[in-house]
Amino acid sequence: MRKGRYYLGRVIKLGNVTQQSLQASIIDAPVVEIGKFDWTITDVRDGRTSSQPYIFGNLTKYAKDGKVTVVDEGSRQQVKANARNLLEASSPFVYLPDFSGIAYLHVWNGIQEDVFPRRFQSVIEAAHENFFAKCHIDPVSDYKAFYAKLKSIDTFTEISAKVFPPNPLFGRLWGELHDYIKHRNASEVSIKETSDKKGGLDTDITTHIGQIIENPDYQPEAIPTLTDSALLMAADGYGVGKAVGLENGYEIVIKTTDTQKSFLFTKSPNPEELAALAHNVFQKISKERDMRH
């Protein structure tokens, strides 16, 4: 059984894209032409009525006028023949409404992990006729990998993040920021801090992540600052963030997108089995990070 790597993300829904319309768009996806290929979602399995709701599908890339090589028996030659709607690549995925979570397969030389989110976004927004519709996938960071990178920074010179309203889960450590976004009725919040002073930025971001890895019930002595909260929120899949600093005098850049959480599973999955595994992974993330509804 050949295995592939599935990447985890949160599906951010803005404008006319709602939880309900997103799911309807996955089930009845339009065809979108991008360059030489067409894209759509095929082989859908609607599991929304199960105890752990999910929707399974394949993000599919194909050529309307493809070419295949066949053997001409008369001439004993290999020749090209037309092949209508020739499949180029297909990436199985599962969407979990309870977590706004998605797990999708990285397909080498076809639908790589950085390509899938862009094409998925194009299909969903096209289903809304691209009218006041925004949908994108933000990666869920692997806390341990992110923490290991942050620990290498001696002095922080920049922390920035762009975050979006969480739905339905939010992280306890960044609960104050969650409330702020709701109070402001904001669809997006961007924040950036820089410092060229000796000692750099005064941040506890490394401590917060390290402590919550050790203990999901970790309670800091003071509420995390706005910028630290935003970076934590981005790491949990509700935005993108970046930390810049010095390591032994050299500048390094650490992005939440660099440490995306993933797991290995068969490349030709049974929809229910993939959904069950993805649900367990997202549930474990929520428990480890003390995320709440």
Rounded-to-integer distance, Cα 155 and Cα 208, Å: 16
Q: Burial of 202 by CB count in 10 Å (0-12 exposed, 13-18 middle, 19+ buried)? A: exposed
Which tens digits make up the pLDDT trace of 168-196?
Answer: 788 989 999 999 999 999 999 999 999 99
What confidence category does residue 124 fall into, taking pLDDT thresholds of 50, 70 and 90? very high
8 burial type by CB count under 10 A (0-12 exposed, 13-18 middle, 19+ buried): buried
Residue type, 151: K
Question: How far is residue 16's CA from residue 184's CA, in Å, rounded to a whole number?
Answer: 19
Nearest Cα to 203, choosing from 224, 180, 178, 230? 224
- Whether 15 contacts 33, CB under 8 Å: no
**For residue range 259-283, what is the model confidence (pLDDT) as tens digits?**
999 999 999 999 999 999 999 999 9
Q: Percentage of the chain surpassing pLDDT 90?
A: 86
Residues 6+ apart with CB under 8 A from 48: 23, 54, 55, 97
For residue 169 the two structure tokens come to: 């889960």
Q: What is the pLDDT of residue 125?
A: 98
Q: Say how far apart CA 84 and CA 183 lie, in whole Å.
A: 52
